[in-house]
Structure formats: structure tokens, C-alpha cells
Amino acid sequence: MKYKSWTEHISSVEKKIDEEFKIIKRPSGGSCFDYMLSQCKLDYKSRQIIIEQVFTKSDYENGTPGSIQFIYEYKNRNDFQLSISERDFFDKLFSNKRFTVKNPVFDKKFTIQSNDHITASKIFADEAIQSIFLNNRFIILNISSKESLTKIVLKNISNKLYDFKEYELMLNTLKLIIDSCRG
């Protein structure tokens, strides 16, 4: 893919989101590739949602778009950890720390681990959030706390250009998750 096509695409999304995307050059250490990072910051609940996508340049004109991630950090008195992954063989054997949402289809496919089952229940009680994970196996959610700062990362690991509807879906999903975590 042409680097220019990627930047034009980012500009078109920028206009629809009505926020500025910055493209930052991140040279790699020791290889011939350059990493370009598109980054957008949106205000939400007195903090910022950061949207990032990497573009790896293979030469002067060409490269590959990477995954996209939506990041939100907020101060939290409690340490909160949450991860979700597709169930595998070991999850079936060692499921004592596993959290379920009482949806047989969702529970059969995913393992949720969290140190706060009440907040995890709030997040995954929403059928729209369950549906997003059920319909796209490339979506990853991790929530972790360190030194009273909780970081939520919602990521789509597909390496592609994301259309505006995909941006909008990811952004709205992250907002639902934030609202569930922050109350």
C-alpha cells in the first residue's frame, strides 16, 4: 500500500471524527523500516481517549498499516485487572478463576479473568459489548492498574485500513467500557 494512500485515509477519518490526527515518525533502531504513528486524542470524561495506528514503511513510498488501538487512562483508588481471551484447552482444565456472564454462547467461547467481578459484570452485562467480541475475533481488551492509574486498551489486531464505521464502533465500545468502569 502507498504511504500517501494511508495518510489520505487518515485525513478522511479525521474530518469525520472532527479531531486532528498527528502522524509521528518513529524510526526503528537498526533496520531499514520507518514506523509512522497516527495518533488522535479525544476528550472524554475529563480525560483523553487516544486512537493509534502504526504504518510500517518498507521503502520511500510503500508500507503496511498495522493494528489499531484505543487507549484510556484514569485515576483509580482500586487496582483493577481484566483480560479476555478465547478459551483454549487449558482454560477448560483450569477454570477456577474464570468469570462467566451467564450467556452460554459467550461463556463457551471466552475466558474472562478479573480481580473485580462486580466491575467485570457491569462491562460484560451489556449485550452490545458481548456481540462485538462474538462477531470479531481480532478484538482484544486489557485493563490494568499500576500506581492508582488504570489503563484500558481496546485493540483490533487486524493489519488494515479501518473505515469510519469501524472507528466509530471501537470508540463507542470503549466509551461503554469506560462508563462501566468509572460508573
Parse the chain into domains and list their residue ranges: 3-182
Please count the other Cβ atoms lying within 10 Å of the Cβ belonging to residue 26.
12
pLDDT at 30: 53
Report the pLDDT value the prediction gives residue 90, as an integer from 0 to 100.
62
**How far from 56 is each of 22, 80, 150, CA to CA, in Å?**
16, 33, 29
Q: What is the pLDDT of residue 93?
A: 58
The confidence score (pLDDT) of residue 89 equals: 62
pLDDT by residue, tens only, the chain of 183 residues: 998 999 999 999 999 988 889 988 876 655 567 888 999 999 999 999 999 999 988 887 889 999 999 999 999 888 899 999 887 766 655 555 677 888 999 988 888 888 888 999 999 998 999 999 999 989 999 999 998 899 999 999 999 999 999 999 999 999 999 999 986
pLDDT of residue 150: 95
Per-residue pLDDT, 55: 92
Largest CA distance in the chain: 52
Cβ-contact 169, 111 below 8 angstroms: no
Q: What local confidence, expressed as pLDDT, does residue 86 receive?
A: 84
**Residues 26, 3 contacting (CB under 8 angstroms):** no
Give the closest residue to 22 by CA, choosing from 53, 56, 63.
53
Q: Is 120 exposed, middle or buried (0-12, 13-18, 19+ CB in 10 A)?
A: buried
Q: Is 73 helix (H, G, I), strand (E, B) or coil?
A: strand
**pTM, two decimal places:** 0.90
- Rounded to whole angstroms, the Cα distance separating 149 from 134 reads 29
34-44 vs 21-27, strand pairing mode: antiparallel
Count of positions (residues) in the chain: 183
Question: In angstroms, how far is CA 115 from the centroid of its own chain?
Answer: 20
89: which DSSP letter?
H
As a whole number of angstroms, the distance between CA 101 and CA 103 comes to 6
The C-alpha atoms of residue 35 and residue 27 are separated, in whole angstroms, by: 6
Residue 104 carries which side chain, given as an amino acid letter?
A: P
